[in-house]
Structures are given as C-alpha cells and as structure tokens.
Amino acid sequence: MGTTQLETAPEPKYWHLKTVLSEALDSEFSVGEILPNERDLAARFGVARATLRQALEQLELEGRLQRRRGVGTTVAPPRMGVAVGTEEHTWPGAAGDAWQPADCTVAAPPAAVADLLESVHGEQVHTVRRSRVSRGQPVAAELVYVPASSVPALPAIDTPSGAARARAVLRELRHLELEGQDRAVELGSASAEDAKELDRLPGAPVLVVTTRFFAAGRTAAVSVATYRADTCRLTFGDHDGVEIHHGPERRAS
Amino acid sequence: MGTTQLETAPEPKYWHLKTVLSEALDSEFSVGEILPNERDLAARFGVARATLRQALEQLELEGRLQRRRGVGTTVAPPRMGVAVGTEEHTWPGAAGDAWQPADCTVAAPPAAVADLLESVHGEQVHTVRRSRVSRGQPVAAELVYVPASSVPALPAIDTPSGAARARAVLRELRHLELEGQDRAVELGSASAEDAKELDRLPGAPVLVVTTRFFAAGRTAAVSVATYRADTCRLTFGDHDGVEIHHGPERRAS
DNA sequence: TAGTGGTCTAGACCACAAT
DNA sequence: TTGTGGTCTAGACCACTAC
C-alpha cells in the first residue's frame, strides 16, 4: 500500500479511497492483520480523517474490516454462513437447535409484535431471550414472544424466571402442532441491549429475522432475531450447509 | 417537534437525537411529509449539521426516512414485503416471476461467483441482467450467471444480445431438471451500476441474495440479486403473502 | 500513560432539482 | 437562481484498551 496520490476524479474521494483500500486488503494484508491507525492512513492518502473514516465505514459495513475502540482496525475474516431456515419447520428450542435460552420475562410486547400476534390487547406474553454463538463468537440475539394462551398448561410462576423458565415455556410450546411458519429478513440497527449482547456498539447494522409460527389456526408465537450484519451471511439451505469459501477474501461487492 | 434542548446524557448526542426524531416521526409526521432542512434542524437542536446528519443516516438505514439531494428529507412509507423464496423451487424466469430481463452478455464472472459455479476457469458464462419493480418502484437488480455448458442447445450468437437473448438463455435453462437450490442473504453496498438501477447513490445499503441452482449433480447457475435495504423486507413465506402492516409506522428497532 | 477509534464542531464548497 | 442534501476539511475532546 504505497503513498498513493488521489487523482482528480468525478467520483467522491471516499469512494475512490474505498476501492484503493479494498484492493490493498486483497493483495497486501491477511486476515487479522492490524492496519495503520486512522490518523496515519489519512495523512498517507492526503485526506482528512473524516473522509478516511467514511471509506472505512463502508468497508466495515461490507464485512471487510473490524474496528475496535482502543485497539485498532483489523482485517476481518470472510463472513460465516449461519443456517437460518431449513424447510422442515420446527418450533424454537427443538432438539439441538443453535440457540441457548438465557431468560424469560412476562411483559407487553412492542407494538409491531403485538400486531403480528393479533392477540388480545393486554394479554400476557412470555418473552424468552436467547442467544446464538457460532465459532466462539456471539452472532445473534433473539426474543421469542409467546402469548399465554399458546401455553395454557404452563405451571404458574413457581418456576424461577431464569433460563429454566425459558426452557419451560418453549417446552410447552412444542405440545402444539406446528402448521406452518413465515419468515422475513430486513436491515435494522442494534438497540443498546442487543449491541451489548452482540459485542458491538449501539446502532451497528443487524439483519433482523422475524418468524411467525402458526398453530391452531392463528399465530402462536413470534420470534425476532437480530444477527450481526458485519460477520454473518444468513443461509437458507435445502442442500444443507455446503460451506465453501476460499481465495483471497473476495466478495460480490 | 418543539425546540427541544438536549440534556446532558451519557449517550452520544446523535443517538439521543435519533430517538427524539424517531418519536417525532411517529407522532407528528405522516408518510411523505417533508422535514425541515438539515441546517434548520441542526440549529433547532443546537448541534452541528454533521451530528444531525449522523442521526438522519441511522433513521434512513432503518427505512424511516428518505433523503434526496436537491429535494429534501421525507418520511418513508413502511417497508414493502418482497417475496423472495417459495418452497417450490423454480428456475429463474419461470412462469410469472417478478423479474424483467433487461440484457445479456458473455463475460468472465467475478471471482466469488466463479468459485460458486465450480466451473472450468475461462469457461464462457452468460450473464443475464434482470430488474424487479414493485409498486412502481425499482426494488432489486439481479445478475444470473449461466455457464455455457448449462445451456448447450442455445443457438449461436445470431440472436441479438438484448432482452431477447436474455429470455432465450433462461428458456434454455429451464430444460434442465432442477434438483435443488441454495440461498444466502447478506448485507452489501450498492455498486455504481446497481445504484443507478435502484435509483440510489453508490454505496447505499443493499441486501444481497445469492442463489445457487443445482442440476445434473452440479451448480448449473448462480444468481446474485441486490435489493434496496431501505425500502424492502424480504419475505420467505410458505403461508404465501399474508401482508399486513398498519399502525403509526412502528418497527422492531 | 499512551495510543486507538468514537464523537463533535464550524465552517466551506459541490452536485443536483426545482423554479 | 435558489435551496436541498452530499462531500470535505482541520481541528478538538472523549471513551476505551493495553501497557
């Protein structure tokens, strides 16, 4: 990565800068390597730090870089494939899924979720919090909303309200016959709460996967899972997990 | 939206600002309405324009706002659901899909696609460009990569190289028996080319859907579709298209 | 304590759309 | 021509990490 001079160009500086850096990452850096700090890089390219940062932000959004305050900017490994959907539909918490129940509370769900549940307003809704770890890294945080009417046989509040209760709620849910499910993926930004769990700063880009579970002719549960967008590639395989990716860190833009 | 003063807070100003604006959008603005310009808004909140812009950027990322140079900042409608996967697998270009073929060229695919195709290096690959419009708005641009060996009966180059040829390639492809497919979704940023087609600026956030089509024991084609992340919610339904969303523009973060 | 990325400021100019 | 958002600058200080 020489002391490149930016030529006059019709395109913005940060865009050109991003291209130059991207090529340098492919050819002159290896995964995990630390880049020069932002002040040095900016000086080297003859731009203000804010401009350099604009380029770095783009590259981080694309999963090419990882920046950590107090540490530095490192070259990110290729995104990991994370299996999200198999065609056989199952309840959350079914045998050997990738999630680990963490907690369970009873509260009114956010308005958007209440709409999806089509439940009676003010009905009790169990909220199970789960987290997902892949290759030693937290990749997703999830909230499963289960209306009380979906788990009528659930023992009263005598069960403690921690992971044990979370498991109890999901276990009860499995007694219903699952008739189908429904998935949507959209871009979001991490709430302060999710950010903490995902080891990112608030506002970090996340992929939000919303799943509706249908049973007994209605929506029996709703799950909202937020995946780190920088490190994850969500896979919806029926050819399960053919997971290859080599070469010097290429990606289709 | 009064002349709110920002209190001392442990959280960044732009974060607090985003929250305040978000609430104002819910309560005091309706879809399509134009916000005051950035300089006025910044003055009203007593922050620098760059700080105000940081908040607006977040809100735009979440699909709450739409900004257009020379025009202004408007309140965005709720994201539209765009059907991406039905469980019955079909070839691209099958009866009545949502795509419109635009062009077809023969070129070497990008390295990442070449890996997926596992094709002989240097093999001819037809590249079909298609676009997708929903509710009068462009929502996605796609490139379908079809190795020449997947369409052996395709007439030579006597066919013109426009939309007609694109349709011809896809028609030939449908003669193969589709054995399965494979999907992945990840965050990306729009290339200059895609940005133009999606009516956005280069670098705009997009959801990249990569699909592999399997036939005759190998990868017969690969499709890379980029969806506008600001306006689209990708749906993977088997309960086809239960499309509801009301209420005053709420969203789960 | 030193060095990193994260936030913030107060300007300036540019590209684009509407008038 | 006017007004908008988009880009860019040259600083400053803060929060965090590692030593």
User: What are the pLDDT tens digits along chain A (253 aa)?
Assistant: 444 444 445 799 999 999 999 999 999 999 999 999 999 999 999 999 999 999 999 999 999 999 999 999 999 999 999 999 766 678 998 877 889 999 999 988 888 899 898 866 778 899 999 999 998 889 999 999 999 989 888 776 666 668 888 999 999 999 999 998 889 999 999 999 999 999 999 999 999 999 999 998 889 999 999 999 999 999 986 654 444 433 333 333 3
CATH number at residue A229: 3.40.1410.10
In chain A, positions 112-171, which contact chain B (CB-CB < 8 Å)?
112-113, 115
Asked if the C-beta of B13 comes within 8 angstroms of chain A's C-beta atoms, the answer is no
* Angstrom distance (rounded) from CA A18 to CA A23: 9
Tokens 């709460």 correspond to what residue? A193
Tokens 């395709």 correspond to what residue? B154
In chain B, positions 34-73, which contact chain A (CB-CB < 8 Å)?
58, 61-63
Domain hosting residue B61, numbered range: 5-75
Beta carbons of B182 and A239 less than 8 Å apart: yes
Tokens 């959801």 correspond to what residue? B207
Indicate the residue of A226, A236, A246 with minimum beta-carbon distance to B115: A246
* Angstrom distance (rounded) from CA A88 to CA A81: 19
> Are B86 and B203 within one domain?
yes
Tokens 């940005």 correspond to what residue? B195
CATH number at residue B32: 1.10.10.10
* Domain count along chain A: 2
Closest CA to B185 of B215, B206, B155, B171: B206
> Are A118 and A212 within one domain?
yes
> Are A106 and A172 within one domain?
yes
> Residue B237: pLDDT above 90?
no
Beta carbons of B63 and A230 less than 8 Å apart: no
In a domain, A253, yes or no: no
Asked if the C-beta of A181 comes within 8 angstroms of chain B's C-beta atoms, the answer is yes
Contacts of A21 in chain B (CB under 8 A): none
Residues A101 and A166 sit within 8 Å (Cβ to Cβ): yes
Determine the protein residue whose CA lies at the shortest distance from the C1' of D9: A48
- Provide the shortest C-alpha distance from residue B158 to chain A (in Å): 31
Asked if the C-beta of A183 comes within 8 angstroms of chain B's C-beta atoms, the answer is yes
Task: Please say which residue of B26, B54, B75 terminates a domain.
Answer: B75
Coil, strand or helix at B75 = strand
Measured in whole angstroms, the distance separating CA B4 from the mean position of its chain's CA atoms is 36
> Are B113 and B204 within one domain?
yes
Verify if strand D has an atom below 7 Å from the CB of B73: yes
In a domain, B14, yes or no: yes
- Which pTM does this prediction carry? 0.90
- Provide the shortest C-alpha distance from residue A41 to chain B (in Å): 21
